[in-house]
């Protein structure tokens, strides 16, 4: 039996790590698996898990925009910037804030900003995650990192809490945003809850629940896996003839004479061969994805990640 191939969209529950989810998928489907971006243990929501040779496509999904919904708790800070951490300082009364006040405060965090990651984070310092060093009592000092927050929508304000919806680029820490927002409002704070609503084009609609992953037969889980071509919907695609598919399998480059169709990606992307950095999906005549290829000048396609 061939190894499964594709991607699962899983609704991660609270209380387990992203790695726990990956291990469960590996055991359920008896194949290799890997996720495209960590969620903190108490966070929930979209976790993309690639399976089989599709794990080779993980890097193309790791640096995509994400949408979160989170709750900021006012009144005290924690050492991890979230509800799992130890309280820092005294508890203070949460200020009575209006929606307009909070909207005014969040404006300074929209756009390209410098953000300092939490001390307890997976960001590596000299090859080791910062949280491991912090737990050993080592002093951890992060340099500010440039991140992008596209927009912040204030959903609700009241009872010492602020509920937000945020679209951000890779590397953004919502825990840091919660901490910094409290500072901007003159009150200590932390991230009380977080749910990831989407990663790139993939959201919670139809996502596999944890209970399903625990109880459903492997064939039912596998039936809900996306094909590799569906994992990169914004990419343009190129369909090869049988000769081109064989050239690809033999490690060759794809010349225009091997192409029978060029298609536009969901984002309007086309294969131009203009010399600009560009990627395309290479498909066989049955529209199954064979490889991810770099588009070179002159329309030459250089396979970089081969699936089969």
Q: Would strands 124-125 and 128-129 be described as parallel, antiparallel, or unpaired? A: antiparallel
The dihedral of CA 118, 119, 122, 123: what is its sign?
positive
Torsion region of 54: left, alpha or beta (phi above 0 gives left; psi -120 to 50 gives alpha)? alpha
The H-or-E segment that residue 139 falls in is none
Catalytic: which of 40, 84, 114, 211?
40
- Cβ(135)–Cβ(161) under 8 Å? no
11 catalytic residue (yes or no):
no
* Residue 265 burial (10 A CB sphere; 0-12, 13-18, 19+): middle
The tokens for 2 are 């061939």
- Cβ(9)–Cβ(208) under 8 Å? yes
Residues designated catalytic: 40
């Amino acid at each position: 039996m061939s190894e499964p191939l594709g991607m699962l969209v899983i609704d991660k529950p609270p209380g387990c790590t992203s790695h726990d989810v990956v291990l469960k998928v590996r055991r359920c489907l008896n194949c290799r698996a890997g996720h495209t971006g960590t969620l903190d243990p108490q966070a929930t929501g979209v976790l993309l898990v690639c399976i089989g040779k599709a794990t080779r496509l993980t890097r193309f999904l790791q640096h995509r925009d994400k949408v979160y919904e989170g709750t900021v708790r006012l009144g005290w800070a924690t050492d991890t910037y979230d509800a799992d951490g130890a309280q820092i300082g005294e508890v203070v009364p949460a200020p009575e804030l209006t929606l307009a006040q909070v909207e005014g405060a969040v404006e300074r965090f929209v756009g390209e900003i410098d953000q300092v990651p939490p001390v307890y984070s997976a960001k590596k310092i000299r090859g080791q995650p910062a949280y491991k060093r912090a737990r050993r009592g080592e002093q951890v000092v992060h340099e500010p990192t440039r991140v992008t927050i596209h927009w912040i929508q204030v959903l609700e304000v009241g009872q010492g809490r602020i509920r937000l919806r945020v679209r951000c680029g890779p590397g953004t820490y919502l825990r840091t945003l919660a901490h910094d927002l409290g500072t901007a409002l003159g009150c200590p704070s932390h991230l009380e809850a977080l749910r990831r609503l989407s990663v790139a084009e993939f959201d919670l609609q139809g996502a596999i629940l944890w209970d399903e992953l625990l109880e459903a037969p492997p064939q039912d889980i596998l039936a809900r896996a996306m094909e590799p071509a569906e994992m990169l919907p914004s990419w343009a695609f190129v369909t090869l003839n049988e000769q081109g598919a064989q050239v690809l399998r033999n490690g060759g480059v794809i010349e225009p004479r091997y192409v029978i169709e060029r298609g536009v990606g969901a984002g309007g992307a086309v294969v131009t061969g203009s010399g600009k950095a560009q990627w395309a999906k290479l498909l066989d005549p049955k529209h199954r994805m064979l490889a991810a290829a770099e588009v070179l000048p002159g329309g030459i396609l250089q396979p970089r990640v081969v699936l089969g």
